Amino acid sequence: MDAFTAVGAVATRFLMRVGAAPTRAPRVPGGAAWREIHQRRAAMYAEFVEPADQIGHILETWPALSPAAREPQRKTAYEHLQTLALRQGAVLLDGDQGGVVVAAQQLRDECERLVRHLDLYAPPGPVDESVRGLSLPFLRACREHLEAEFERHFGLRRPAGSSLFARLAR
């Protein structure tokens, strides 16, 4: 099975499990359906980031953990990595939305690289703050896409602070 078939199978299985469908804006007067799709897309992006944030938390606290506590945390990190891969399928099915797909792949690759390099026998140390904000580039790409989509659809700019990801702009 080639990579595209595997990704398609995983994404289809995920969407069937959660009951989601690819988001395409129907032509409805008033834009109510479009707003609903827009909100679902924003929720999908936030859901995709959730396991990456959990991985970031594990990576951040890793140096402060005892060697005995590291093994279950590493197992949990790999589980979050699998969840991230499954949720990426939904982002891929949504299409290339202004760089969102590229940012999702970069986030997944970075999480995978960091999780694979977890060392059970690394010397203890303070909390590692260098991994904070692991998902920020993805969230910025999502915010930019959602705001551009809103502007294209309604011909308006959103008021400052009304975006789901507005706080990330700072």
Q: pLDDT of 85-99, one tens digit each? A: 999 988 888 766 668
Give the span between the Cα atoms of 101 and 82, in whole angstroms.
Answer: 17
C-beta neighbour count of 36 within 10 angstroms: 14
CB 65, CB 147: distance < 8 Å: no
Q: pLDDT of 88-146, one tens digit each? A: 988 888 766 668 999 999 999 999 999 999 999 988 888 888 888 899 999 999 888 88
pLDDT at 6 over 80: no
- pLDDT: which is higher, 152 or 89: 89
Q: How many separate domains does the chain show?
A: 1
Output the average pLDDT for the chain.
79
Give the span between the Cα atoms of 84 and 28, in whole angstroms.
Answer: 33
Inside any domain, residue 32: no
Q: Residue 122 is part of which domain span?
A: 3-16+39-169
pLDDT at 159 over 60: no
Inside any domain, residue 49: yes
Q: What's the pTM value of the predicted model, to 2 decimals?
A: 0.71
Contacts of 50 (CB under 8 A, 6+ apart): 83, 87
The whole-number pLDDT of residue 34 equals 75
Inside any domain, residue 127: yes
Inside any domain, residue 148: yes
Inside any domain, residue 135: yes
Model confidence at 10, pLDDT cuts 50, 70, 90, reads: low
Model confidence at 169, pLDDT cuts 50, 70, 90, reads: very low
Q: Which of 28, 11, 140 has its CA nearest to residue 36? A: 28
